[in-house]
Amino acid sequence: MKPLSKKIRKISLIISLVAFIIIGPIVLAYSLGYRFNELEEKFGLVRTGGIYVHSDVGNAEIYINTEYYKSTGNFLRNVFIQNMKVDEDHLIEVQKNNYHNWAKKLPVYEGYVTEARTLLVPIEIKKDAIFPFVNISGIGTTTDDAETIYNPEYKDLEILFGLASSTIDTEVSLINEINGKLKINANESSSTTSGLATSSVEVPDYFIKLGIENPEELDNLIIDNDELAWIESGDISINWIGSIDQIPYYFCDFKDCVNKIELDWETDISKFAFMPNRKDVLLVLNKEGLWAAEVDDRSSRNIFPIYSGEDLDFMISQKNKIVVLDNEIFYELDF
């Protein structure tokens, strides 16, 4: 094949340079979030933002400002919504059959990606009853007679809920529960009749910074790494004590971050826990029942019923399942 002439090579080089000079800035601007302004009468570039939506549930429909956008997949459930108009809130809705609708108004800022995580809760939650006794066919019952035996799974749950004693001493269990959350200084000498060593608790600095001198007085205190939460005057106080560089998205709106979020309720909260595998969702118990409530308060919180009833109690089992105690029967929730 005959090689290109010097003149043609020179022309090709010039064309390539011109194309690079024209296209290069456009590609760079696109990568930085700039888009051609198609919504205004004047021509120009505007910088956009985006929203990244995490979803634990597949095949859910996503709507932006009431307009259908796309559906999540079975495996790729997270969705990155690009090219969104900045300096205003956008309504993001996620819907799926047989689930409560999730909705959030989220701000979009120039050149940033706003993060959110859906809370999709089934309308009907499957629950497996665990009875005190089982018959020879393995069917649960509340009747204690010659044809039934005591259910060992029920016994384990009684211990979990503190309704029955176990072979582990209560004081030892308490120390093990606190250990790793508060610094424990165990004394060598013993002053108890059981022969257990007495212990004193050194209050960590983060409690002092929060103005708390005695953490043991806090109701329903939960310490999960750098996130602290407890019940205060019937509401829940959620506090971040870690580095500002690692603060979760729901404490921030990109302009300001807070170290404290309040989950207030019209009815006093009697108990709470973090939902299994979620640090941004609380299980909240009041006189009306058990609820799932978002920590994220950037717009109206999504709050959904988990189990309705009065005089309930609940715990997270060793299987990381939510277990509700209702009228002496345990119910393991599956969703």
By percentage, how much of the chain surpasses pLDDT 70? Answer: 76
pLDDT score, position 202: 82
Q: Where are the domains of the chain?
A: 48-117, 126-164+214-334
| pLDDT beyond 60 at 220 | yes
pLDDT higher at 302 or 136:
302
pLDDT higher at 220 or 44:
220
Q: What is the pLDDT of residues 278-293, one digit of tens each?
A: 999 999 999 999 999 9
pLDDT score, position 200: 59
pLDDT score, position 304: 98
Tokens of 180: 């790793």
Pick from 20-34, 103-117, 187-201, 263-277: least confident: 187-201
| pLDDT beyond 70 at 36 | no
Residue 288 φ then ψ, to 5°: -95, -20
CATH number of the 48-117 domain: 2.60.40.1120
| pLDDT beyond 50 at 32 | no
pLDDT higher at 42 or 89:
89
pLDDT score, position 19: 62
